[in-house]
A = this chain, B = another copy of it.
Amino acid sequence: MSDQNPVFIPGPTNIPDRLRAAMHMQTRDHRAPDFVETFAPVLEDTKAVFGTKDGKIITFPASGTGGWEAAVCNTLSPGDKVLVARYGMFSHRWIDLCERHGLDVQVIDCAWGAGAPADRFEAELTADAAHAIKAVLVTHNETATGVTSDIGAVRAAMDAAGHPAMMFVDCVSSLASIEFKMDAWGVDIAVSGSQKGFMLATGMAILAVSPKALAAMETAQLPRTFFDFRDMLQANASGGFPYTPPLQLIYGLRESLKMLMEEGLENVYARHFRLAEGVRRAVDAWGLKLVAEHPELYSDTVSAIYVPEGFDSNALTDQAFNAYGVSFGIGLGQMNGKAFRIGHLGSLTDVMVLSGLATIEMAMADLDYPIELGSGVAAAQDYYRQNRTALIKSAA
């Protein structure tokens, strides 16, 4: 693989030089005043990206999976009931985690390609008159299918059912790329990570936690130490960490927030939409179909694309990697072999996206796909040039 070409996996994303430089720092003393002076504002500034004023930001040196575990362990007790919809690999894996931790998981199975089923949530919650369900778990952006769900609709369903359950949302592959409104949507825990919209290296789970979830923390019985919110909040209160913090990622997050604020969150979201829309125009020009069931569900961070009948999507991503040195996302779970994915999030330009489209076209041609070279590129070019926007500035 060549380091020179961008990656088109849906995270970890291409890291801009400015953030690589920020993470390149020499060791500093995490118990010294300058860490304290750095860390507290980083936590505060992260709130805007989650769309919360009331929530607390909590970070762990862990992956998004660790973030899920932290959400669950800090608020629930063995045997507690949770309601979850499964419509892709990541919702599936969160369910598995809940089961391993002894929760009573009520699953709503949906087609892969569907979004969060607000109506079915409402029905189940209404049926739960005893309020046995303690939390509803939703995946905002299902990375396996390229589906972004309407979290506001889930909130409306919960309200319609008059149900007091907490709502936990996985926004790992949407945050800082697609608008997220924690407070407006009444989200209780939002789980994200460093390696997607924040454009950093993998290694830090980033959560936002509502006052309601913080209250649940006091009675939750699931065991936890590394992921314990209480230790973390107590240490954070004086600018510290309960164990050795991931310094490089915290300083990286500080710089990432600066980049996001310099560009403006609205512009960040608009850029992701524009880049994604170019990809979708290309898909259409190729005569292919997205896994996402309908346009309202199309994700602006990742497109999962069905290969034609009789083709193997793994052969396609292999060809792109082996022949041209470019990584695309493979089809996960049910989609393995059937769909490939183009990640289009984080530090990316239209020019970079066009190189990805040109590459996958070559790989498709190599494998005798019925597509015309340049056709998807042309469709995206046409869209991009007619919808120009300010460039992301990645360096001072």
Contact = CB atoms under 8 A, between A and B. Distances in A.
Interface string A322-352: 0111110010000000000000000111111
Interface in A349-396: 349-352, 354-355, 358-359, 361-362, 365-366, 372-375, 377-379, 381-382, 384-385, 388, 391-395
A74 to B, nearest CB: 12
Contacts of A15: 26-27
Contacts of A29: 1, 7, 9, 321, 327
Q: Is the interface of A mostly helix, strand, loop or mixed?
A: loop
A202 B245 contact: yes
Interface string A236-271: 000000111111110000000000000000000000
- Identify the interface centre among A2, A23, A350: most chain B CB within 10 Å of its CB: A2
A344 to B, nearest CB: 13
Contact of A27 (B7, B21, B374): B7
Interface stretch (A45-53, A146-154, A221-229, A292-300): A221-229
Interface string A50-74: 0000000000111111101100000
A378 B385 contact: no
B203 A4 contact: no
Interface in A1-36: 1-7, 9, 11-18, 20-21, 23-34
A325 B29 CA distance: 11
A373 B365 contact: no
Contacts of A32: 1, 321, 327
A101 interface: yes
B355 A381 contact: no
Contacts of A361: 381
Contacts of A201: 27, 246-248
Interface bin, chain A: 35 or more
A242 B395 CA distance: 26
A6 B14 CA distance: 14
Contacts of A193: 244
Nearest to A389: B323
Interface string A72-94: 00000010000000000000000
Contacts of A244: 11-12, 63-64, 193, 195, 202
Contacts of A245: 202
15 contacts: A1-B28, A1-B33, A7-B29, A14-B26, A20-B24, A61-B66, A66-B226, A100-B225, A101-B225, A195-B244, A201-B247, A203-B248, A323-B388, A354-B354, A358-B381
